[in-house]
Amino acid sequence: MSNALHYKSNVRDLYFNLFEVSDIANGVLGHGAFASLDEETARQVLSEVDKLARTEIAASFFEADRDPLRQGPDGSVLLPASLKKSLKAYYDAGFGGLELPEHMGGIGAPPSLIWAAFELIAGANPSVAFYLFGTFIAKIIDRLGTAEQKARFLKAHVDQCWGGSMVLTEPDAGSDVGAGRAKARHVEGDLWEIEGTKRFITNGDFDYPANIIHLVLARPEGADVGTKGLSLFIVPKIWVEADGRLGEPNGVRVSKLEKKMGIKASSTCELVFGEDRPARGLLMGNVHDGIRQMFHVIENARMAVGMKSMATLSTAYLNALDYAKVRVQGADLPEAANKRAPRVRIIEHPDVKRMLMSCKAHAEGMRALAFFTAHIQDQVELLGGHGDARADELDKLNDLLLPLVKGWNSDRGYDQLGIALQIIGGSGYIQDYPFEQYIRDQKIDSLYEGTTHIQALDLIFRKIARDGGQTLQGLAQRVQASVQAEEGGETLAEERKLLGKALADLNGMLMALLGKLGESPYHVGFQGNRVLLALADVVVAWLLLRHAAIAAGKLPGAKASDKPFYTGKVASARWWCRNVLPGVTLARKMVEASDLGLMDMPEEAW
């Protein structure tokens, strides 16, 4: 196993999700905003991104972790040379335009193709993936900015590959965004001056791009308290004149570079606005609609975090698999008492097979969930976005799925990474192998962009309750229809039966929680995470069974090179239904038995 090139991609499963399950070649590519793309081009693009990820991007993974970020005399953040080399390779290859629409000079790729490329980059080096965020910030300005703001920023932003950050969190507010105290004072027109301190800002500063555009939430003087009083401001690191030329440094200073457990190569900063000089910013769209505008960024970030967790688990599994195939240790279990029995590779041991299948099925399930969601996003864009009734319905489904992609992928991903490390034993604990860094780099995923419990509260109180559970019911009907349609035939008959039972238990769990809400919302506080995880377990079971049905149908006529892949798809679904879905029954019982005893426990007893 090479430290320099640790990353093992799973392009075969990526293509399976895109072209065999979602069938984007026929339903997405060549249509609407994606009319200029076809399957051959999409495959070629992903093949090139994959090659870059496994080489130039992966090359800085270890080195940048061990060669820490530094601050220069002026407080600016200095990246290690290896990281700059990876970023240069990405932009030199022309991939900066992958996620841009054609009118911005990009190739007009659909969300599913954009997220596929993101998986490859994030799996190879998540810090590099984060530094590419500036392109998305340009898309937000294009979507929400005034004509003057677009003319002012976008050409230079895109041509020069500027960086970007989303600036929400404050030291005293944390996840309670509405408690933010950063102030905005109106100067004239759409020009404002920002004052305050923001914390934990990814890409808060780094010395690769010529400029960084911060999207900052601040409260105009006299505005309401809470999130509704916040407005969104475009605040460049270097001031941008009306004609697009760069001016003087703006009043944004890095007061602290966070020292972190993982993703050490990602610049996480505390930023002070308006301390030494005015921090000038433009009101986004010249309207006071900050939290709604910022949610376009937040939702993208949450999807990215879920994709990152999946990508990390996927490469960890494949690294563990390779190790298990060559590591010889111990006799075959029936011969364990025979001291003269030949030693076998650890992949032949039942416990290692169990752990490998857990990692394999979870990695494939996370990818299935992420790309099912990405394909929903494809369809929303094809329908022209909001305003179309079908697009609005699909957008609600996307909203429902995002807490699962972010919350479930990140939560389960951490557990499974521990299993991947366990597979290779003590070797996994040392830095000769990538597992300890995978775990350090991934743990943040369940913490930022809304913790797992924040995702659960969002799921229950906003996404489910918003329309009286209709969107959730629609998703459940899809699952039930697959069960009744007998997808996969006799091959998956038992698995469909187990899925039907889990779906019934999930419904019973939700009904039990709804009843307990009449007693106290504290029940959601205790059981919300359990509900989110159980819902995702069921949805993933459904998706894996759909994948297995496709694979089973193709197995008889498959090429010899494809048969192992399709066989593995059926095995993953079977294992999931037998080993994960029984947990939904237990989760239902736990919710039904929920009580509020902990709320009455005196603090002194803790």
CATH code, 164: 2.40.110.20
So what's the pLDDT on residue 384? 84
Q: Do the domain assignments include residue 136? A: yes
**125 and 153, same domain (yes or no):** no
Q: Is 257 helix (H, G, I), strand (E, B) or coil?
A: strand
**216 and 198, same domain (yes or no):** yes
C-alpha distances in angstroms, 298 versus 223, 370, 448? 22, 16, 11
**176 and 92, same domain (yes or no):** no
pLDDT at 1 over 60: no
pLDDT at 5 over 90: no
Close Cβ partners of 533 (under 8 Å, ≥ 6 residues apart): 407, 408, 411, 412, 587
Q: Do the domain assignments include residue 17? A: yes
**21 and 69, same domain (yes or no):** yes
**227 and 126, same domain (yes or no):** no
So what's the pLDDT on residue 4? 65
So what's the pLDDT on residue 3? 55
Confidence class of residue 173 from pLDDT cuts 50, 70 and 90? confident
The number of distinct structural domains making up the chain is 3
Asked which of 108, 141, 174 is the last residue of a domain, the reply is 141
Cα separation, 404 vs 134, in Å, equals 25
Cα–Cα–Cα angle for 56, 99, 314, nearest 5°? 50
pLDDT at 525 over 90: yes
577-590 pLDDT, tens digit each: 999 999 999 999 99
**92 and 151, same domain (yes or no):** no
Q: Do the domain assignments include residue 360? A: no
The CATH number of the domain holding residue 54 is: 1.10.540.10
Q: Is 256 helix (H, G, I), strand (E, B) or coil?
A: strand
Q: Do the domain assignments include residue 538? A: yes
Instruction: Write out the two tokens for 534.
Output: 């159980």
Active site residues: 449
pLDDT at 331 over 80: yes
Instruction: Give the mean pLDDT of 67-96.
Output: 95
Confidence class of residue 176 from pLDDT cuts 50, 70 and 90? confident
Asked which of 93, 121, 141 is the last residue of a domain, the reply is 141
**169 and 92, same domain (yes or no):** no
361-393 pLDDT, tens digit each: 999 999 999 999 999 999 999 998 767 889 999
pLDDT at 2 over 50: no
So what's the pLDDT on residue 178? 81
Residue 264: how many other CB atoms lie within 10 Å: 20
Instruction: Give the mean pLDDT of 466-478.
Output: 95
**113 and 161, same domain (yes or no):** no
Close Cβ partners of 53 (under 8 Å, ≥ 6 residues apart): 7, 9, 120, 121, 123, 124
Asked which of 288, 315, 349 is the last residue of a domain, the reply is 288
pLDDT at 237 over 90: yes
Q: Is 159 helix (H, G, I), strand (E, B) or coil?
A: helix
Instruction: Give the mean pLDDT of 448-456.
Output: 95
Q: Do residues 550 and 20 make contact, with C-beta atoms less than 8 angstroms apart?
A: yes
pLDDT at 603 over 70: yes
Span between the terminal Cα atoms of the chain, in Å = 46
3-state secondary structure 339-394: CCCCEEEHHHCHHHHHHHHHHHHHHHHHHHHHHHHHHHHHHHHHCCCCCCHHHHHH
So what's the pLDDT on residue 151? 97
C-alpha distances in angstroms, 137 versus 184, 212, 236, 298? 21, 10, 12, 11
So what's the pLDDT on residue 539? 98
3-state secondary structure 300-343: HHHHHHHHHHHHHHHHHHHHHHHHHHHCEEEECHHHCCCCCCCE
pLDDT at 416 over 90: yes
Q: Do the domain assignments include residue 6? A: no
**113 and 209, same domain (yes or no):** no
Instruction: Give the mean pLDDT of 173-190.
Output: 90
Structural domain boundaries enclosing 269? 146-288
Cα separation, 24 vs 376, in Å, equals 11
User: What is the rounded average pLDDT for all residues in the chain?
Assistant: 96
Sign of CA dihedral 402, 408, 410, 411: positive
State CA 503 to chain mean position distance: 25
502-518 pLDDT, tens digit each: 999 999 999 999 999 99
Instruction: Give the mean pLDDT of 469-473.
Output: 96
Q: Do the domain assignments include residue 365? A: no
So what's the pLDDT on residue 208? 96
**483 and 592, same domain (yes or no):** yes
Q: Do the domain assignments include residue 354? A: no
21-61 pLDDT, tens digit each: 999 999 999 999 999 999 999 999 999 999 999 999 999 99
